[in-house]
Amino acid sequence: MLTGEENEALTRVGPGTPAGELLRRYWHPVAVAAELTEENPTKFVRILGENLVLFRNKRGNVGILEERCPHRGASLSYGRVEERGLACAYHGWLFDASGQCLETPAEPAESKFHLSVKHKAYPVRKYVGFYWAYMGPDPAPMIPPLDIWERKDGRRGVVVYKVIDCNWLQSMENSVDPAHLQILHLDTTWSHKAPSRTRGYIDEVEQVDFEEVPYGIMKKRRFKDGREDNHPLIFPNNLRQANSTQFRVPIDDEHTWHVHVIFDPSETGAETTEEDLPVTYMEPFKEPPEGLHPQARFTMHKPLAQDTMTWETAGIIADRTEERLATSDRGIVMFREILKREINKVQLGIEPIGVFRNGHPIIDTSLDEILDPACKYPRRIWTLAGGIRQI
């Protein structure tokens, strides 16, 4: 159980909030790269409670700016993309990717006023099918070089889910809650019938452990038949489960963007390039799609539909002052304690965990354990279209 003040500190993500300042120390995917085209060169983006516009100029350079023009507040998402940057549709103020104003057309020809105008802008990178933004202080770190993103012996794909209508922390706490797998997903994950509708498959689990690693928390589950399942929560808002990394990007305090990068190992070593990386958009998991609990009903036909039900029905921002935690919730407690510790470090000017600088070697997340063809136990991995297949 948390106090009200602790719950506020861990859930609120806007500028100046404790969790918001922590989250701004990391790169976050903000848009599917394939969505930014010559025909549609601008895209409105909302992340960490800030409204931004992503754009690609006619030279192919990409930037992300605060959405409202500093002149009169018109949305730059309607701006004209030019050779050097993005021009506001209202009065033509032109900004480059760094936020520097290059022109103010209505001012006298000899005016240097534009030199004094610097609009808020963030660094942008294109990587594994997304444009990423870094919204923290300089110098920007590198995007973590995870094995699942860096390996060259396979193809990658992006899967985009509907926005989750609740706070980011609910979905991330689910990542260190292994007990729910054998119970919540008893009808959607196993090929054999559960011995009990109440206990599901929980009695097949012998032991669950959690270990802090430099990039997050490794969840370790051992079954009574000898199988082991190790996969990490990648701090602060990603889960590497099987061959997928699952981002839970805070749009604001009440909405979360849920997207996956899937790595499909290739027997021939064929690799998908950034230019032809496939994108799959998933159907909504509730009806009506924009509805909220209890008016909306969740489909419950897939594991992620079931997960989404638990995240959203706990409330827009779960009230953790009323919860009753048990021994099976120790992973959640561990994650919260790490969050609080890292928030405190940021407030003291200390770099938090999971921040890596240029030259860091590829990070081993134990991906080979799930992909090893010599493994004697059947494994379930994600397909590039967001489905599940057994290997």
In this prediction, residue 305 carries a pLDDT of 96
In this prediction, residue 270 carries a pLDDT of 64
Output 255 or 373, whichever has higher pLDDT.
255
**pLDDT tens by residue, 23-79:** 999 999 999 999 999 999 999 999 999 999 999 999 999 999 999 999 999 999 999
CA distances, 228 to each of 209, 271, 345, 366 (Å): 11, 29, 34, 12
pLDDT > 90? residue 297: yes
Nearest of 97, 96, 93 to residue 114 by alpha carbon: 93
Locate the DSSP E strands across 214-316.
Answer: 216-223, 228-234, 238-241, 244-252, 255-265, 279-281, 286-287, 297-298
pLDDT > 90? residue 229: no
Provide the edge-to-edge strand list for the sheet that holds 130-134: 27-32, 130-134, 124-127
Fold designation for 147-390: Naphthalene 1,2-dioxygenase Alpha Subunit; Chain A, domain 1 (3.90.380)
**pLDDT tens by residue, 66-112:** 999 999 999 999 999 999 999 999 999 999 999 999 999 999 999 99
Assess contact for 314 and 171: CB atoms under 8 A.
no
* Predicted confidence band of residue 377 (pLDDT cuts 50, 70, 90): low
| Rg, C-alpha atoms of the chain | 22
* Predicted confidence band of residue 390 (pLDDT cuts 50, 70, 90): confident
pTM: 0.94
pLDDT > 90? residue 1: no
pLDDT > 90? residue 292: yes
Assess contact for 351 and 200: CB atoms under 8 A.
no
Nearest of 176, 183, 171, 175 to residue 318 by alpha carbon: 171
Fold designation for 27-134: Rieske Iron-sulfur Protein (2.102.10)
**pLDDT tens by residue, 103-158:** 999 999 999 999 999 999 999 999 999 999 999 999 999 999 999 999 988 889 99
Output 227 or 4, whichever has higher pLDDT.
4
Vertex 389: Cα angle to 229 and 275 (nearest 5): 100
pLDDT > 70? residue 268: no
Nearest of 173, 153, 175, 184 to residue 309 by alpha carbon: 184
* Predicted confidence band of residue 195 (pLDDT cuts 50, 70, 90): confident
In this prediction, residue 369 carries a pLDDT of 84
CA distances, 289 to each of 5, 245, 284, 298, 307 (Å): 32, 24, 6, 9, 16
| DSSP code string of 296-311 | SEE---SHHHHHHHHH
In this prediction, residue 21 carries a pLDDT of 98
In this prediction, residue 83 carries a pLDDT of 96
User: CA 314 to CA 169: how far, in whole Å?
Assistant: 11
Work out the mean pLDDT of the chain and round it to a whole number.
94
In this prediction, residue 271 carries a pLDDT of 65
Count other Cβ atoms within 10 Å, centred on residue 341: 11
The percent of residues in the chain predicted with pLDDT above 90, rounded, is 84
pLDDT > 80? residue 374: no
Question: Which secondary-structure segment (H or E) carries 55?
Answer: strand 50-56
Long-range contacts, stretch 299-308, CB < 8 angstroms, 24+ apart: 301/188, 302/188, 303/184, 303/185, 303/188, 303/189, 304/161, 306/184, 306/185, 306/188, 307/171, 307/174, 307/184, 308/164
- The full set of domain ranges for the chain reads 27-134, 147-390
In this prediction, residue 275 carries a pLDDT of 65
Assess contact for 200 and 295: CB atoms under 8 A.
no
CA distances, 9 to each of 46, 84, 333, 389 (Å): 20, 40, 15, 39
Q: Is 331 exposed, middle or buried (0-12, 13-18, 19+ CB in 10 A)?
A: buried
Residue 201 token pair: 């498959």
Residue 353 token pair: 């965990």
- Phi then psi for residue 244, to 5 deg, are -130, 145
- Amino acid of residue 120: K
User: CA 100 to CA 44: how far, in whole Å?
Assistant: 19
